[in-house]
Amino acid sequence: MRRNSSRGRTSHTPQFRTAHRRSAALALAGVAALIAAAVQTGAASAAPAATPRPATTNPAHTALRLSPSQRAELLRDADATKAATARSIGLGSQEKLVVKDVVKDADGTLHTRYERTYAGLPVLGGDLVVDTNKSRKTMDVIRATNATVKVPGLTPKVSRAAAEQQAVRRAKARGGTKSAASGVRKVIWAATGRPVLAYETIVGGLQDDGTPNQLHVVTDATTGRKLYEYQGIETGVGNTRYSGQVTLTTARSGSTYTLTDDSRGGHKTYNLGGGSDGTGTLFSQDNDTWGDGTTSNAATAGADAAYGAQETWDFYKNVFGRSGIKNDGVGAYSRVHYGDSYVNAFWDDSCFCMTYGDGANNAQPLTALDVAGHEMSHGVTANTAGLNYSDESGGLNEATSDIMGTGVEFYANNPTHPGNYLIGEQLNINGDGTPLRYMDQPSKDGSSADSWSSSVGGLDVHYSSGVANHFFYLLSEGSGAKTINGVNYNSPTSDGLPVTGIGRDKALQIWYRALTTKFTSTTNYADARTGTLAAAGELYGTSGAEYAAVEDAWAAVNVGSRSGGGGGGGTGSTYDNNTRTAIPDNGPAITSAITVSGRGGKAPGNLRVNVDITHTWRGDLVIDLVGPSGKAYRLKNFSSSDSAADVKATYTVNAAAETADGTWKLKVQDQASQDTGTLNDWKLTFP
């Protein structure tokens, strides 16, 4: 959680966030071929397609529950063959792979996650997942960037000191107090398109509200331009205060008990006593009853934290077969009573620890169960997909913690506080009894996005997360009004069409598999649609209710098409040209044609054009739709500042002046040098 004041807002509503060090960093071939392009779409008007029958999980594509020794052996095998793997997937002679994680399916498929180096330098945004079958043949490679990693030279034109000064200035603007960086290193920055030599500078210290500072600033080592920045401390939100009387696993030595959980990787709970450094003091006493439910008893917050840690551990282990945050059987540790009136909680991957403040006037510890699940899930994300904490990937990072924190709350099945789709509702931080966030209709908090738009990536990540939170709620429970565990919900859809949910259990399995085997550091909402469809296809098949529900839930938040095709199934018609066409660098425009016949009459005023282009530095591209009359309709303008990769979007065109029948063309031109790409697919949808 995070107070807004350091970001320039006037309210003091905390936001769940988490701390992790940045890791420098889709489907199996048979499933990938069946996945529709992941695109952003507009409204639809047709009726939804008939709901397919639900399926059971495909056991072949279920991740095995590996013991620590089994996982370690797979990691050793991957490390021993990483050079051969690098060659087999086409990496250059100066590129090397660094093994990060591995997931093994029951059919022997391995999903091995790597980071990458170039000439010995970390490649930020160079992470990838390699899928191999039982015979270790490569079936798919999921990359954070499709750009070739190569830079003209490794000698910076900008000094290290200049990069440090820039980072320190940025940290001070965010409320930092340090006058020097805690670390500067040379890297290759590849996360937003064209790879460049860069510096990554980290500025530590404290922010103005007492939150630890760990600002990462990436600076172009040739031009001195700031390329990226993110806050590495991503905060968020016995006899416990929030969960009633619970059973805790503790340790005893002689007559002394401690909040040590050896059954869950040795997790320990410490009392900082108002401090902000170190571990503090391990909770210990001469009896095994912890806290009394009040804030005046220091052990109450300790009991809440220990309970949150054990429920989060059990949730990941029993639901997904994951043994601890790193899946290595090692527990984290928790610290309570951080600072003075600190209205926040945070996970820090660098210490592998969870920290809770005591809230305003030290009267409201932020140790609620969904806070614990949320924050520690940031640790899971850091040790799997490593989603960048900015833009759309940052929204997915935050949403993942909301989704998994909600999963923890339902899993605990605590009678004092049953699970719900509200975030931080027990803390009353707004002072009016309202939650921090609502998954059924995120905009009810006044700031979060219900559905995708081209501006979502520019929102604070706690608000852009609304798109994925809403998707998850719809996938789990469906649209419309309903009451769950005594809480009333009424979830709308952006296209006005209903969604039928598949249940929270299946929705969690789909999200977790996508997170651990499909997402990379640069995954955006279009990619998340692709990844979750791949996960749903592997787990439940591509013709069942689960796959269709993923399509429909994404369409309901304005990402992609409905399961019926086009604008929502039923009467909608979609015409497709999936012939791949190379786009020359700074050259003439290419065109791709679709012929429509048999419709008669005029084209609609809401004709949708779905475009899937792979291209580094997408700002170079200008895209037009050319109607049968020869009139061009501009879809995308040139932008010298848009360095992100790929165009996966749906545009709505008022084509009412055109005849529906005839030849329609997509015209694409690269108007700047140094980047090339491919038109993979485009579609016309007549609602």
Q: What share of the chain is helix, strand, coil (3-state, %, to 5)?
A: 25, 25, 50
The sign of the CA dihedral 358, 362, 368, 374 is negative
What integer pLDDT is reported at residue 566 of this predicted model?
A: 39
Residues 140 and 471: their CA atoms lie apart, in Å, by 26
Give per-residue pLDDT as tens, 42-67: 333 333 445 567 777 888 888 998 88
Q: Is residue 663 part of a domain?
A: yes
Q: Is residue 49 part of a domain?
A: no
What is the Rg, in whole angstroms, of the alpha carbon atoms belonging to the chain? 25
Residues 371 and 293: their CA atoms lie apart, in Å, by 17
If you count DSSP H runs as helices and E runs as strands, how many of each does the chain have, helices first? Answer: 12, 32
The bridge status of strand 345-348 relative to strand 235-236 is antiparallel
Q: State the residue range of the domain holding 657.
A: 573-686
Which helix (H) or strand (E) segment holds residue 309: the answer is helix 298-320
In order, the DSSP letters of 246-288 are -----EEETTEEESEEGGGTTEEEEE-TT--SS--EE-EESSS
The sign of the CA dihedral 494, 498, 499, 501 is positive
Q: Is residue 657 part of a domain?
A: yes
Q: Is residue 623 part of a domain?
A: yes
Q: Is 462 a catalytic residue?
A: yes
Residues 611 and 489: their CA atoms lie apart, in Å, by 35
Cβ atoms of 566 and 687 within 8 Å: the answer is yes
Backbone angles phi, psi at 71, to 5 degrees: -65, -45
Cβ atoms of 224 and 169 within 8 Å: the answer is no
| Residue 645's CATH number | 2.60.120.260
Tokens coding 554:
């994404």
What integer pLDDT is reported at residue 197 of this predicted model?
A: 97
The stretches in the chain having pLDDT less than 70 are 1-52, 208-210, 233-237, 564-572
Q: Is residue 456 part of a domain?
A: no
What integer pLDDT is reported at residue 209 of this predicted model?
A: 63
Q: Is residue 338 part of a domain?
A: yes
Give per-residue pLDDT as tens, 222-243: 999 999 888 776 543 399 999 9
Q: Is residue 327 part of a domain?
A: yes
Query: Residues 462, 538, 546, 615: which is the catalytic one?
Result: 462
Q: Is residue 350 part of a domain?
A: yes
The sign of the CA dihedral 535, 105, 317, 270 is negative
What integer pLDDT is reported at residue 205 of this predicted model?
A: 79
Buried (b) or exposed (e) across 289-307, using 16+ Cβ within 10 A? ebbebebeebbbbbbbbbb
What integer pLDDT is reported at residue 648 of this predicted model?
A: 85
Q: Is 374 a catalytic residue?
A: no
What integer pLDDT is reported at residue 244 of this predicted model?
A: 93
What integer pLDDT is reported at residue 214 of this predicted model?
A: 79
What integer pLDDT is reported at residue 231 of this predicted model?
A: 75
| Residue 354's CATH number | 3.10.170.10
Q: Output the pTM of the full model.
A: 0.72
What integer pLDDT is reported at residue 536 of this predicted model?
A: 96
7 by Cβ neighbours in 10 Å (0-12 / 13-18 / 19+) ranks as middle
Looking at the structure of the chain, the number of domains it has is 2
* CB contact set of 455 (below 8 Å; sequence gap of 6+): none
Query: Residues 115, 229, 375, 398: which is the catalytic one?
Result: 375
